[in-house]
Amino acid sequence: MSRRFHPAATRRQLLGLGLAAALPLAARAAGPADKLRIGFQKSSTLMIFLKSRGTLEKALAPLNVAVSWHEFTSGLPLLEALNIGAIDLSADVADAVPPFALAAGAKLTYVAIETPSPQAQAIVVRKDSPITSVAQLKGQKIAFAKGAGAHFLLLEALAAHGLGVRDIEPAYLSPADGRAAFEGGNVAAWVIWDPFLSAVQRQAGARILLDGTRLFAYRRFYLAATPYAQRRSDVLATVYAELQRAGEWIKQNPGPAAEWHAPVIGLDAATVEAANLRRSYRVQPVDGEALAEQQRIADAFVQAQILPRKLVIAESPVWRPA
């Protein structure tokens, strides 16, 4: 059974929080500030939103917590940094990423999910490609980021057509390198997520061969280093609440959200808005259904001999809001 960290779960903790709230801010801030180091990617819309507005810095000031931001090109290096103690909290990563980190022995705590967005990642081919079905990918070179949600989507798509990873030539590439290889004709297909998916559709006319609909729910997970989750559940509660508010604002204001986000990530507003329409941005606690799919992902990677050992996802700790 998963261990659960409950903010304000005991009478003693509640009393402690009440006493802290009663102290003058100057008294609480007298000591050196604790740090919250957050890792994020260009696809981490909600964290980038909070970063751009200084929201967490303001929300965490009463807890005497300073925030630092660290950008990564993909999810697996981000969780590796989390494991070695270089950061404390990971912005959203695709749901195929945590099993890779856990298989490497990472001590991670599941914090939250964004609910499913199956259309927010897809297998694409060039607009002039003769490929019209997944079955035609047999023997072809396909670009994708190892350990990303795109990796699992490809496995599921191949399996649905009687194929496996040995039937294609994998090209493990970051989003930037994957797009260059795709547009240069060096790969037959590319498996990618938003906003990169919307960008290659709008800017290069890429054609979607298949997305995650009916194949893969595609949840995005927020994770913390387990020692940090055990020590600062109050910080996680604050971050969780702000992520929920950010997600609600972006879904309720798609135009303004795209206008804000576009220059931050170097895309045009129309592309960002198209990407945002495919993402749920609904931040929720990690539930049994999400963990069951984590197990299914882990088992699939073990079966494909991509992960070295079987995992029991239920053994990983889960933080839950009060």
Domain boundary among 211, 231, 253: 211
- Pair 267, 199: CB distance under 8 Å: yes
- Pair 257, 249: CB distance under 8 Å: yes
Examine the domain organization and report whether 130 and 105 are in the same domain: no
- Close Cβ partners of 222 (under 8 Å, ≥ 6 residues apart): 89, 90, 91, 92, 110, 111, 112, 113, 243, 283
Examine the domain organization and report whether 111 and 250 are in the same domain: yes
Examine the domain organization and report whether 151 and 228 are in the same domain: no
* pLDDT at position 19: 31
**Burial of 165 (C-beta count, 10 Å sphere; 0-12/13-18/19+):** middle
Strand order through the sheet with 121-125: 169-172, 141-144, 189-193, 121-125, 207-211
- Close Cβ partners of 184 (under 8 Å, ≥ 6 residues apart): none
CATH (domain of 194)? 3.40.190.10
* pLDDT at position 283: 97
Domain containing 170: what range? Answer: 118-211
CA distance 178 to 145: 8
List beta partners, residue 125. 207
* pLDDT at position 33: 81
Place of tokens 């740090």: 35
Domain boundary among 211, 236, 271: 211
Sign of CA dihedral 49, 147, 145, 115: negative
Examine the domain organization and report whether 149 and 232 are in the same domain: no
- Cβ-count burial 102-138 (b if 16+ within 10 Å, e if not): bbeebebbbbbbbbbbbbbbbbbbbeebebeebebbe
Question: What is the total count of domains within the chain?
Answer: 2
Examine the domain organization and report whether 89 and 238 are in the same domain: yes
Domain boundary among 211, 244, 275: 211
Examine the domain organization and report whether 260 and 278 are in the same domain: yes
Examine the domain organization and report whether 157 and 27 are in the same domain: no
Residue 55 φ/ψ, nearest 5 degrees: -65, -45
Examine the domain organization and report whether 78 and 157 are in the same domain: no
* pLDDT at position 31: 64
Examine the domain organization and report whether 111 and 227 are in the same domain: yes
Examine the domain organization and report whether 65 and 205 are in the same domain: no
The one-digit pLDDT tens for each residue of the chain (322 residues) are 434 444 333 333 333 333 333 333 333 444 678 999 999 998 899 999 999 999 999 999 999 999 999 999 888 889 999 999 999 999 999 888 899 899 989 999 999 999 999 999 999 999 999 999 999 999 999 999 987 889 999 999 999 999 998 999 999 999 999 999 999 999 999 999 999 999 999 999 999 999 999 888 899 999 999 999 999 999 999 999 999 999 999 999 999 999 998 998 889 999 999 999 999 999 999 999 999 999 999 998 998 888 889 999 999 999 999 8
Examine the domain organization and report whether 65 and 155 are in the same domain: no
The SS3 of residue 40 is: strand
Examine the domain organization and report whether 229 and 110 are in the same domain: yes
Q: Count Cα neighbours of 283 within 13 Å in the Cβ-side half-sphere.
A: 27
Distance of CA 299 to the CA centre of its chain: 20
List beta partners, residue 191. 123
